Amino acid sequence: MTLAAAPDFWITSGYHLLRRGEDGRLRVTPDFLRAYLDRPELQPEEGSGPAERELAARLNDDPLRPVAPGELATIPDADARANWQALLRFRAALLASETLEQTYLGIAAGRTAPVAPLFVDHLVHAILRGLLQGCTDPIRLRAAELLFRTQLVSVDGSTIRVGDEEMILAAADPAQAGDIHLDLLKPTDADAYWGRSDRFDTALEIGFGSAGLDGLCRVLEAWVKHTAGADASIQPVQSIRDERWRWHVGLDAEASTILNDLYRGAAVGEPRLARLLSLFRMELAPSVRLLPEMSGRPIYLGMAMTERGRLRLKPQNLVLNLPWAEGERP
C-alpha cells in the first residue's frame, strides 16, 4: 500500500480542518475552532437566553472574534458560562502559539494557563493524526490511541489486553450494549480498523512480544522525534538489570511512583509490581544533548495500570522528563 493509497482515519481529530506546514507542524484555522461550537456542551438549549444564543451565532460567523468578559457575564446559566469560559481559554492558548505542538508543550510545561484535560487529549489526538499521516499499519494506529484515550486493562497470565474505557463502560450499559461491539484487533484482520477508527471499539494485545507493544514503541519514537526533535530507539525489556541505572521516566502516574521506589531500593509489594505492564529501554541518538552523566546511557521507561485496571498515559512525560542538557528542554 502506497502513502497515497493509505486510508483516512481519525476524522474526529479535526486534522482535516487544520493547516499543515512544510515542517509538518499543525496550524489552527477558523474551521478548526468552529468545530468546537458544534459540541453538545456549547449548543444553546431550548431555555437558553438571548445572550448565549447571540454569542454562539457571532462566534460561528467569526471563530476568531474577541469576546469581552462582560459578554459571558450576561449568560445566566452557570454551567453554560463555565463551558464557554473553558473553550475561550483553550482558544486563547491556541492563538498564542504558532502551532498546535507549541500549544501542547506550553500547557504541559506550565508556560501556558491550564486548560481542561479534554482539550489536552484533543491536542494529542490531532498532533498524532498529523505525524502518523500515511501510516498503513492499523495495529500501530490502535496503539497510538493509548496516548489520548484512557484504557481498561485485562491481564490473563502473560496476555495483556487493553480496551477503550469509555466504550467498555458504554457496552456495559443496558441502554447501549446492543450497539457496541468490542473486537480484538489482530494482525491477521487489522484492516477492519479502517472503517471503525473513530469508534474506538477495538481491543489490543500489548503483552511482551506482541505486535501491539511493538506498535506502541514505534509511536513513542515518532512522538519524541516530532515534539522534541530527538531521534530515539525504544524497545521493550522484561526487567531492568543495570547496575548503572541513572534515569527513568514513567509513562503514567502509576509507573512513575513504582519506578521511583524501585530506583531508591524501597520495598515494592507483589500487587504493585503486578500492575507494571511494560518496561522499555530508550536510547537517544548521540547528537541529542543530555546531561553529562547520561552520555551514552539508556533511559528506562515504564507503563502501569492503576489498582482498578485503568491505564492513562501522559505523553508529555516522554518529552519534558528526559535528562536534557541545560537549555535543551522543549
Mean pLDDT rounded to a whole number for the chain:
94
The yes-or-no verdict on residue 217 having pLDDT over 90 is yes
Cα–Cα distance, 207 to 326 (Å, whole number) = 36
Burial of 293 (0-12, 13-18, 19+ CB in 10 A): exposed
pLDDT of residue 6: 79
If phi > 0 it is left, if psi is from -120 to 50 it is alpha, else beta; for residue 120 that is alpha
Task: Report in angstroms the alpha-carbon separations of 33 from 48, 50, 59, 60, 65.
Answer: 22, 22, 9, 9, 11
The yes-or-no verdict on residue 2 having pLDDT over 60 is no
pLDDT of residue 69: 84
- pLDDT-derived band at 178 (thresholds 50, 70, 90) equals low
Give the three cell numbers for residue 287. Answer: 547528537
Q: What is the mean pLDDT of residues 183-209?
A: 96
pLDDT of residue 33: 97
Antiparallel, parallel or unpaired: β 183-184 and 232-237:
unpaired
pLDDT of residue 131: 97
Q: What is the mean pLDDT of residues 14-36?
A: 97
Q: Tell me the whole-structure pTM to 2 decimals.
A: 0.95
pLDDT of residue 44: 78
Cα–Cα distance, 203 to 184 (Å, whole number) = 4
pLDDT in tens, 301-318: 999 999 999 999 999 999
Which ranges in the chain belong to alpha helices (H)? Answer: 30-36, 50-61, 69-73, 78-95, 100-108, 117-131, 138-144, 165-171, 211-228, 253-264, 270-274, 317-320
pLDDT of residue 256: 98
Give the three cell numbers for residue 329. Answer: 528542554
The yes-or-no verdict on residue 175 having pLDDT over 80 is no
Q: What is the mean pLDDT of residues 284-308?
A: 97
Percent of the chain at pLDDT exceeding 90: 86
Q: What is the mean pLDDT of residues 232-259?
A: 97
Burial of 255 (0-12, 13-18, 19+ CB in 10 A): buried
Give which of 62, 68, 115 is closest to 87, Cα–Cα.
115
Give which of 161, 143, 144 is closest to 152, Cα–Cα.
161
pLDDT in tens, 277-286: 999 999 999 9
Q: How far apart are the first and last CA of the chain?
A: 35
pLDDT of residue 173: 81
The yes-or-no verdict on residue 330 having pLDDT over 50 is yes
pLDDT of residue 323: 98
